[in-house]
Chain A
Amino acid sequence: MGSYVIRRLLQMIPVFFGSTFLIFFMVYSLGDPVAALFGDRAPDPATAARIRRELYLDQPLWKQYLHYMGQLFQGDFGTAFNGQKVTELMRDAYPVTLRLTLVAIVIELLVGVTLGVFSGLKRGRLIDSSTLFATLLVISVPTFVTGYVLQYLLGVKWGIVRPTVSTDAPLNELILPGVVLAMVSLAYVTRLTRTSIAENSRADYVRTAVAKGLPRRRVITRHLLRNSLIPVITFIGTDIGALMGGAIVTETIFNIHGVGYQIYQGILRNNAPTVVGFVTILVIVFLLANLVVDLLYAVLDPRIRYV
């Protein structure tokens, strides 16, 4: 197990440099941050040149990247349009986003796994077909559509919840945004659980468990579930990336002052370095989250540990 952990940590290093470089490359090589800063207006050559010098953009790409990484390792992820450092904005904003994301993950796991288990065990029956169809519908409706529709229906028309979230974003106000954020992922979790349960139900080791005279409940909880949930746990790893993206949409719709909101503000003002700074932090978080998930996977599935 120890060697597995070490190997995963080592693997993370080239991926970290690769991903940060990829972002960097996309923004500064494929894109033109200075032109974007000016938006629709034609850039004044002198100002453009000055900005280019300030942002190091007149250097060759590799030098830019090294400088960029140098800043990163000193903890400098850039400055936002209002003069605050990105790290400061992040520090203030992340607790809100964290709460929102946690609400979403809890919802998606609780509801998704339960639904998935029921429809997986009762394959072919009504609950199964209706769950399948419902998940398809949910996946097809983009998060921003669900967000606005639910905000309108529940927040405005029927007045059940506040349409927007107040500044300190208490947990109860985050439930509707959390549901919106979790929706699509929930559908995926349900399907994944269902498929996993359905497949594992026919596995030989389940047949053995039944042949051993174990009660049905024990067969399901101790044998079937433990195996079936492994792919779901690993799915959560990639899902965190989707949730990060979704959080931007959700926070914009519900006016939640979290990380996503900050990123969106940066985009509105065409401030590439700020956006890059935020996104780089998020990528690092994502890589770490995936590492944790992979380790969790090894804990759950002993076959991985000794590979």
Chain B
Amino acid sequence: MLLEVRDLHVEFRTRDGIAKAVNGVNYSVDEGETLAVLGESGSGKSVTAQAVMGILDVPPGKITGGEILFRGKDLLKFKEEERRKVRGAEMAMIFQDALSSLNPVLSVGDQLGEMFIVHRGMSRKDARTKAVELMDRVRIPGAAQRVRDYPHQFSGGMRQRIMIAMALALEPALIIADEPTTALDVTVQAQVMDLLAELQRELNMGLILITHDLGVVADVADKIAVMYAGRIVESAPVHDIYKAPAHPYTKGLLDSIPRLDQKGQELYAIKGLPPNLMHIPPGCAFNPRCPMAQDVCRTDEPPLFAVDEHRGSACHFWRECLNG
């Protein structure tokens, strides 16, 4: 197994208290596999990814428990210098806003070439050549001329491609894409996702796709993990979830998608708001908003029940949910 996150716990100390951002997350990705991690803001999906990459702001953040096994070895036990070598070379991350995520005063070629200079000890000239190759690979037209341009001179979609190019420069085994298309137009979104999928197939990389957009997930993912309040509430192969969700939250998310064949009806939205991570409700974190909540939900935190050998649901009433 390429990556296995086991029982991860992450906290943030803020002026007003401790925010529990990640509370016992387990997921795994294999080579060539795509895991989509779904959830609203505040669900802990980005924090988990940052913990995996090792780029958490360590004060105020703190990993308080769990293991992150990359090719069987626990990254949390690595020294920082070893972890740094893994970063970028064996696992890479793509961020949401390419404009702010790229250094505005360095040329695109310099930022791409840097990967080779630092991790592979190449000369500037060779690194520059590789940079042009990379830009070609992600289909940026006129790469040889544009390699000297600056990020603000590219369109949003092309900037995202550059981010992708930077991530797969050293052909890492794992890529984490944190909302790679959220900031893009719909048509550009499709192009970028296609590119990502194609490159993943080519290089047989594991891909963790973090998003809140169910539409994007359906085409690309093999399996889905739905997160809420720092916990995984449902995990399943992708089609199973769309056909029949086994958790009321997932069901609520699916029901919220406006459909073309529904006309004139009120749009459905899950009532209420995500919890304040400094005061997570006891029992099942979703209980204040859940249409199926019973007394047991308010007292007992549900573990991830096994729905079948590939599916899990953290709901006491997963059977009822599954059967509609």
Is there a contact between chains A and B in the complex with CB atoms less than 8 Å apart? yes
Segment of B90-98, B128-136, B254-262 engaged in the interface with chain A: B90-98
Chain B contacts of A302 at CB under 8 A? 104-105, 150, 152
Q: Does the CB pair A210–B105 fall under 8 Å? A: no
Contact of A209 with B by CB under 8 A: yes
Chain A interface: which of B113-121, B202-210, B280-288? B113-121
Surface stretch bound by A, among B61-69, B80-88, B188-196, B219-227: B80-88
**Is A215 touching B84 in the complex (CB atoms < 8 A)?**
yes
A204 CB–B CB distance under 8 Å? yes
A161 interface residue per 8 A CB criterion: no
Q: B42-99: which residues lie under 8 A (CB-CB) from chain A?
A: 53, 55, 84-89, 92-93, 95, 97
Distance of A221 from chain B, by nearest CB (Å): 12
- Cβ-closest chain A residue relative to B115: A212
Q: Does A306 interact with chain B (Cβ within 8 Å)? A: yes
Set of chain A residues within 8 Å of B88, measured between Cβ atoms: 211-214
Complex-state Cα separation, A226 to B150, whole angstroms: 14
Besides the known contacts A213-B89, A222-B114, A302-B105, 9 further A-B residue pairs in the complex with CB atoms under 8 A apart:
A205-B101, A208-B102, A211-B93, A213-B84, A213-B86, A215-B84, A218-B118, A226-B106, A306-B152
Chain B residues with CB under 8 Å of A227's CB are: 103-105
**B100 lies within 8 A of A205 (CB):** yes
Within 8 A of B (CB), among A177-226: 203-205, 207-215, 218, 222-223, 226
Q: How many residues of A contact B (CB 8 A)?
A: 23
Nearest first, the 10 closest Cβ-Cβ pairs linking A and B are: A213-B88, A213-B87, A204-B100, A212-B88, A204-B101, A302-B150, A205-B103, A211-B93, A208-B101, A210-B55
List residues of chain B with CB within 8 A of the CB of A303: 104-105, 150, 152
A88 at interface, CB cutoff 8 A: no
User: CB within 8 Å of A: which of B158-195?
Assistant: 163, 166
| Nearest CB of A to B43, in Å | 20
- A301, CB-defined interface residue at 8 Å: yes
| Binary interface encoding of chain B residues 272-311 relative to chain A, with 1 for a CB under 8 A from any of its CBs, else 0 | 0000000000000000000000000000000000000000
**B115 surroundings in chain A (CB, below 8 A):** 212
Which residue from chain B places its CB closest to the CB of A214 in the assembled complex?
B118
- In the assembled complex, which residues on chain A have CB atoms less than 8 Å from the CB atom of B92? 211-212
Interface centre among B55, B93, B119, B153 (most CB of A within 10 A): B55
A205 to B108, CA, bound (A): 13
Whether A207 touches B105, Cβ cut-off 8 Å, given contacts A212-B114, A213-B84, is no
Chain A residue with Cβ nearest B166: A212
Q: Which residues of A contact B97 (CB under 8 A)?
A: 204
Across-interface contacts of B55 in A (CB, < 8 A): 207, 210-211
Bound: A82/B53 CA distance, A: 74
A89 at the interface (CB under 8 A from B): no
B95 and A207 contacting across the interface, CB-CB below 8 Å: yes
B93 to chain A, nearest CB (A): 5
Nearest Cβ distance between residue B14 and chain A, in whole angstroms?
A: 14
| Cross-chain pairs A/B with CB under 8 angstroms, 27 sampled | A204-B95, A204-B101, A205-B103, A207-B95, A208-B103, A208-B166, A211-B53, A211-B55, A211-B87, A211-B88, A212-B87, A212-B114, A212-B115, A213-B84, A213-B88, A213-B89, A213-B118, A214-B118, A218-B118, A227-B103, A227-B105, A301-B104, A301-B105, A303-B105, A303-B152, A306-B152, A306-B153
Counting contact residues on chain B (CB < 8 A from A), the size range is: 20 to 34
Roughly how many angstroms separate A31 CA and B270 CA in the complex, as a whole number? 73
Q: How many A-B residue pairs have CB under 8 A?
A: 76
Q: Does chain B have a CB within 8 A of A300?
A: yes
A80, chain B: closest CB distance, angstroms: 47
Q: Which residues of A contact B103 (CB under 8 A)?
A: 205, 208-209, 223, 226-227
Say which residue of A208, A222, A226 sits within 8 Å of B95 (CB atoms). A208
Shortest distance from the beta carbon of B118 to any chain A beta carbon, whole Å: 6
Q: Output the residue of A208, A214, A300 with the most chain B CB within 10 A.
A: A208
Contacts of A226 on B, CB cut-off 8 Å?
Answer: 103, 105-106
CB distance from B209 to the nearest CB of A (A): 16
Interface residues of A in 30-66 (CB under 8 A from B): none
With a CB–CB cut-off of 8 A, which chain B residues contact A301?
104-105
Measured CB to CB, the nearest residue on chain A to B85 is A213
Chain A residues in 8 Å Cβ range of B93: 208, 211
B138-166 contacts to A (CB < 8 Å): 150, 152-153, 163, 166
Nearest B-chain residue to A301, judged by Cβ: B105
Q: Looking at the assembled complex, report how far the CB atom of B243 sits from the nearest CB atom of chain A, in whole angstroms.
A: 36
Whole-angstrom CA separation of A306 from B151 in the bound complex: 12
Q: B118's closest neighbor in chain A, by CB? A: A214
Contacts of A230 in B (CB 8 A): 105
Measured between C-beta atoms, what is the minimum distance from B90 to chain A in Å?
9
Shortest CB–CB separation between residue A260 and chain B, in angstroms? 37
Give bound CA distance, A203 to B100, whole Å: 8
A residues near B106, Cβ cutoff 8 Å: 222-223, 226
The residue in chain B whose Cβ has the minimal distance to the Cβ of A227 is: B105
A207 touches B101 (CB 8 A): yes
Task: Choose one: A205, A210, A213, A222; the contact of B119 (CB below 8 Å).
Answer: A213
In contact, A214 and B101 (Cβ under 8 angstroms):
no
Whole-angstrom distance between the Cβ of A217 and the nearest chain B Cβ: 11
